[in-house]
Amino acid sequence: NFTPDTFVEDIVAELKLKIQDDKVVLGLSGGVDSTVAAVLLNKAIGDNLYCIFVNNGLLRKNEFESVLHQYKDMGLNVKGVDATDRFMAALAGIEDPELKRKAIGRVFIEVFDDEAHLLTDVKWLAQGTIYPDVIESISVKGPSATIKSHHNVGGLPDFMKLQVVEPLRMLFKDEVRRVGATLGIDPELLGRHPFPGPGLSIRILGDITLEKVRILQEVDDIFIKGLKEHGLYNSVWQAGAILLPVNSVGVMGDERTYEKVVALRAVESTDGMTADWVHLPYDFLQKVSNKIINNVKGVNRVVYDISSKPPATIEWE
C-alpha cells in the first residue's frame, strides 16, 4: 500500500546518505517525472543539485519561459539554456521523422554535455526514470533510444559516465503524481498531458522552419486553452495539433486564399500503447476551429483526426 509521505521521507533519507556532499546534474524537461525527481533531490541535497532546462525551440507557446519561471519559484537551482538555433540548424531540410528524432537527440546530448562541462566536480547524473521506463526500456522511442544508438556510434558523452541516481525508478505514473502533490508541486503541472521529447518537430509534417513552429504553437495554444476553458482537458489523455504539408483553397471576403491545413488530435489512453480518439463535442470543435482560422495567419482549414491506435499512432510521425 503506497503512501507518498512515507516514500518521500524514506527516499530523501536514502538520497542524503548516498550522495552526501557530491554534486548532481539533472535535465529538466517540463514534464512530471523530471520535475518530481528534481524536487525530491532538492529536498535531500539543496543547491548541490544542478538542473538544466534546455529549450529546443520545439516546445509549446511560451512554455520555456513560463516553466523556467515555475522551476525557479519552486526553489530549484536551475539554468535555462536556449538552444533553439542549434536545434533549428540541425533540423534544416530534414523531412524524415526518424532523422528528425536522431538530430534532436544528438543536439540535446551535445548541449547537455556542454552545460555539464561548465560545472566542476559533478559526480552524479539524476534521471526521472519511472518503473514503466525500466521494464519497457527496450521498446522506448525517443531520447533514451537515441542515447542508446549514440552509444554504438561514437564514445559516450562525458555526462553519461557519471553514476546514475533515479529516485522514481520503482514508481508508477500515478504514484509519481501523488508524490508530486505531497511535495506541493502545482497540480496543473502534475496533470499535464504527455508531450514527446522531439516536441513539435514530429507534429510538423515535412521540414521544420521557425515560421511553421510559430504557426503550430499558435494553433496548439488555442486548442489546449480551449480544452481547459471548456473543462475538457483533464478527461483527455493527450491532445495537440499537427501542421500538414499541404495548402488548401479557402475564401476570405472576396478573396481566394491558398493556405495551410491543421489537424487536431485528442486521445483517450492509459499508457499510450493503444488509444481511442475522443468524441469532443461538435460545438467545442466548431468554436476552436473558428478561433484558429480567424486568428492564426497562414491557416485556412481545420480537420479533426478520428483514427484510433492501432492501426494509427497518436503522433503523425
**CB 179 to ligand XMP: min, Å:** 21
Q: Taking the complex as a whole, how short is the minimal distance between the CB of residue 49 and ligand XMP, in angstroms? A: 23
> Distance (Å, rounded) from C-alpha 215 to C-alpha 200?
11
Q: How far is the CB of 168 from ligand XMP (least distance, A)?
A: 16
E strand or H helix that includes residue 38: helix 32-45
Name which of 11 and 317 has its Cβ closer to ligand XMP: 317
Residue 80 contacts residue 108 (beta carbons within 8 Å): no
Q: What pairs with residue 124 in β-bridges? A: 24, 163
Kind of pairing, strands 122-126 and 255-268?
Answer: unpaired
How far is it, in rounded angstroms, from Cα 169 to Cα 49?
18
Residues in 271-290 at the binding interface with ligand XMP, rule: CB under 6 A: 272
Q: Which x/- pattern over 244-273 shows residues binding ligand XMP (rule: CB under 6 A)? A: ----------------------------x-
C-beta separation of 61 from 218 below 8 A: yes
Site string for ligand XMP, 99-128 (x = CB under 6 A): --x---------------------------
Identify which of residues 180 and 197 has a Cβ nearer to ligand XMP in the complex: 197
Cβ 172 to ligand XMP shortest distance, Å: 16
| Contacts with ligand XMP, 191-230, as mask; x by CB under 6 A | ---x-xxx--------------------------------
- Cβ proximity to ligand XMP, 238 vs 289, nearer residue: 238
DSSP state of 187: H
Q: What's the rounded Cα separation, in Å, for the pair 296 and 99?
A: 29
Residues touching ligand XMP: how many (CB under 6 A)?
14
Nearest distance in Å: CB 22, ligand XMP: 29
> And the C-alpha cell for 156?
559516450
> Is 248 known to sit in a ligand binding site?
no
Does residue 32 have a known ligand-binding role? yes
CB atoms within 10 A of CB 4: 17
d(CA 135, CA 145) in angstroms, rounded, equals 14
| 31 labelled binding-site residue | yes
Q: Is 75 annotated as a binding residue?
A: no
Nearest in space to 182 (alpha carbons), one of 36, 20, 23, 295: 36
- DSSP single-letter state for residue 204: B
Q: Which of 34, 48, 127, 238 binds ligand XMP (CB under 6 A)?
A: 238
Separation CA 70–CA 58 (nearest Å):
19
* Between 235 and 313, CB nearer to ligand XMP: 313
Reading the block at residue 167, the C-alpha cell is 529516485
Q: How far apart are CA 97 and CA 47, in angstroms?
A: 38
Please tell me whether 154 is known to bind a ligand.
no
Select the residue whose beta carbon is closest to ligand XMP and give its number: 142
Q: Which of the residues 138 through 167 are near ligand XMP (CB under 6 A)?
A: 141-143
CA distance 126 to 168: 10
DSSP code of residue 126: E
313 marked as part of a ligand binding site: no
Q: Write down the least CB distance from residue 145 to ligand XMP, Å.
A: 8
Strands 122-126 and 238-252: unpaired
By C-beta, is 51 or 314 nearer to ligand XMP? 314
| Binding-site residue ranges for ATP | 29-35
* Residues engaged in binding ligand XMP (CB under 6 A): 101, 141-143, 194, 196-198, 238, 272, 309, 313-315
| Binding-site residue ranges | 29-35
